Structure 1
Amino acid sequence: MPTAFPGSPDRGRSRDPEKPKKKSAGRNLRAAIGVGVGLGAIILASLFVYKPVFVGVIAIAVVVGLWELTSRLSERKDIRVPLVPLAVGGTAMVVAGYVRGAEGAWVAMALTALAVLVWRMTEAPENYLRDVTAGVFAAFYVPFLATFVALMLAAEDDGPQRVLTFLLLTVVSDTGAYAVGWRFGKRKLAPRISPGKTREGLLGALLFAMAAGALCMQFLIKNGVWWQGLLLGLAVAASATLGDLGESMIKRDLGIKDMGTLLPGHGGIMDRLDSLLPTAPVVWLLYVVFVGSG
């Protein structure tokens, strides 16, 4: 058996073959879990103790999300979106949706868009069209879509349960996609947009969300039936995935990884809302079709 002599390049080198590198989640999982548990506790406490408090939680998330989005647009693209009318109008949308329903939300959205157009007139006219277009997009993307959560909450019979089901299904969909994709993922879903997403992960999202949907509709939603939950879970998995891809597209265009750093292990508020925002109107509409507006 050959022996390594002093000065030999083989001296002190391990003869064991290199171990394959373990897959990495790419995030600080301990911090992510801690933040997730904390956010969950706040949401549950406000949701089931006093519903108007949860409306305030939605409004705070909307304002912080708008601040992150407009800040990144300014930093990376020099797009000057007026935050004040967006923040005031976004809060008004959420409150109007809870108090006056869908009609109130639409009126608040229209007034917010008008306020953005007028507010931007106080600055130089260069790039006016670009800035107000981005402003109207921000108003629709963040507060208007979030208003559908307030519409779910407004249901008299089971508002908190509707919101809880919506949140659970979205989280379960994301978890299923991550778990299955991390373990079995091989075929890329949309490599140009989000290289980490796989078709196997999408299948995991569908299966997890449909199973959770059947349970939630049967046991949490008044007059709900398990088969409705299967369809609800299917729709949630699809919209949550599209929402995630949509924000990934925005971040790629901006050249950033996360929208913010407010939540350790998660990124920013917008990085947690990406799946929830486009899913909210889908879930609200299916509630109306299956069991009524409440």
Structure 2
Amino acid sequence: MVEPPYTAGSVAGTGARRKTPSMPPPPPSPEQPQPAPAKKSAGRDLRAAIGVGVGLGAVIIASLFVVKAVFVGVVVAAVVVGVWELTSRLAERKGIHVPLVPLAVGGAAMVVAGYVWGTTGAWTATALTALAVLVWRMTRPAEDYLRDVTAGVFTTFYVPFLATFVVMMLAADDGPRRVLVFLLLTVISDTGAYAVGWRFGSHKLAPRISPGKTREGLAGAMGFAMVAGALLMQFLIDDGRWWQGILLGLAAAGSATLGDLGESMIKRDLGIKDMGTLLPGHGGIMDRLDSLLPTAPVVWLLLVLFVGQG
């Protein structure tokens, strides 16, 4: 039989006091590993975003350099889908009913008029589209008429009118190269903002509008766009100069950032993350047009000032 452990007191029948053998101290426990710091995340499916981005880029470049009319059709399609996304979100989240038919038809006409007749055609089609919105809304009850038509006129200028500057660039003799410069500057600006902001960003740019944007990211956008602008103006645009490209890149980065912040403000007011779900990893068409639309008139104007209408 195994004896029970002795205690420090008397043990019956022995008359002796025995001490319990002292136990060795437990071995020191190894240090608990500290959790690795969480890595920054882009918040989207990067594989899907890259795949969709490459696919869109291929379609745009192919249409741009094959037949100009095909690219005009791509712009028209983007405008119509963008208008549909924006008006749908306004109706769902705010109960604002913007007439879609006159905006879609008028938006397509504005793009075509801008390509064929330039600024005169763009402005004329814009005025007629806004008038059509006012008249079309009269078929509904008068309640909230002013609110609905105000949103309709805003949509007219925000999406199709700004898009007309893209096709007005295209109408020049070297139009495809001008549009390519515009697209590359906007994409490179966004890429520079993302890369530098993700790696070094610590000072918020506009935390109440877009918490993910930083001042470091803005600096990255400007730096990347200025370098790209200098190279693109020097080697792609006839009679272009590198210093003009620096100014062009700086202006494009600023307008792209403001455009992104502007759409972020709209989405924050609507209480949504994306305007749509058409493009996996990107959101909707409007989530891709946010920085392109306000940059188009800036690049168009500076190219006209630097090298003429073409």
Q: TM-score, normalised by structure 2?
A: 0.91
Q: Residue 212 in 1 paired to residue 196 in 2?
A: no
Following the alignment from structure 2 to structure 1, what is the Cα–Cα distance between the partners of residues 27 and 160? 71
Selected match of 1:142 from 154, 159, 162: 159
Equivalent position to 1:99, from 87, 107, 116: 116
Structure 2 residue corresponding to 1:194, chosen from 204, 207, 210? 210
Query: Matched residues in 2 for 1:289 and 1:166: separation?
Result: 15
Separation in 1 of the partners of 2:26 and 2:240?
74
Distance of aligned partners of 1:14 and 1:34 in 2 relative to their CA distance in 1, 3 Å threshold: farther
Match for 1:166: what amino acid?
A: F
Deviation, structure 1 residue 256:
0.3
Superposed CA deviations along residues 213-244 of structure 1, whole A, max 9, x for unmatched, are 00000011111111100000000000000000
Cα drift, residue 15 of structure 1: 2.2
Alpha-carbon shift at residue 14 of structure 1 (Å): 8.2
Q: Superposition pairs for residues 104-143 of structure 1, below 5 Å?
A: 104-143=121-160
- Structure 2: how far apart are the matches of 1:169 and 1:187? 24
Show the counterpart of 2:87.
70
Of 148, 165, 171, 2:181 maps to: 165
- 2:7 corresponds to: none
Cα shift at 1:16: 1.2
Q: CA deviation at 1:193?
A: 0.3
1:176 to 2:192 alignment: yes
What's 1:237 paired with? 253
Instruction: Pick closer, same or farther for the CA change 1:121–1:27 going to 2, 3 Å.
Output: same
The Cα of 1:18 is off from its aligned counterpart by 1.0
* Total equivalences in the alignment: 286
In the aligned structure 2, how far is the partner of 1:220 from the partner of 1:97? 24
Letter paired with 1:123:
R
* Divergent runs of 4+, >3 A: 1-4
**1:46 corresponding residue in structure 2:** 63
Change (3 A) 1:175 1:125: same
Which residue is 2:10 aligned to?
none
Q: Given the alignment, which residue of 36, 39, 43 partners 1:22?
A: 39
2:267 to 251, 257, 263: 251
Which ranges of structure 1 fall in alignment gaps of 5 or more residues? 5-9
Matched, 1:275 2:283: no
State the identity %.
80
Which residue number in structure 2 is paired with residue 265 of structure 1? Answer: 281
AA of the residue aligned to 2:82: G
Q: Residue type of the partner of 1:187?
A: H
Amino acid at match of 1:151: M
Aligned letter for 2:284?
G
The amino acid across from 2:288 in the alignment is: R
Over aligned residue pairs, what C-alpha RMSD do you find?
1.3
C-alpha distance in structure 1 between counterparts of 2:97 and 2:26, whole Å: 70
* CA–CA separation in structure 1 for the residues paired with 2:127 and 2:40: 47
Give the letter for the 1:275 counterpart: S
Would the alpha carbon gap of residues 18 and 226 (structure 1) be closer, same or farther in structure 2, given more than 3 Å must change? same
Deviations 1:182-221 (A, max 9, x none): 0000000000000000000000000000000000000111
Q: In the alignment, residue 172 of structure 1 is paired with which amino acid?
A: I
Task: Give 5+ residue unaligned stretches, structure 2.
Answer: 1-24
Supply the distance in 1 between the matched residues of 2:167 and 2:220 (Cα, whole angstroms): 29
SS of alignment partner, residue 121 of structure 1: helix
Tell me the amino acid that sits aligned with residue 66 of structure 1: V
Indicate which of 33, 38, 54 corresponds to 1:37. 54
Quick one: which amino acid aligns to residue 222 of structure 1? D
Structure 1 residue 286, shift from structure 2 partner: 0.2
Alignment partners' CA distance in 1, 2:35 and 2:294: 45
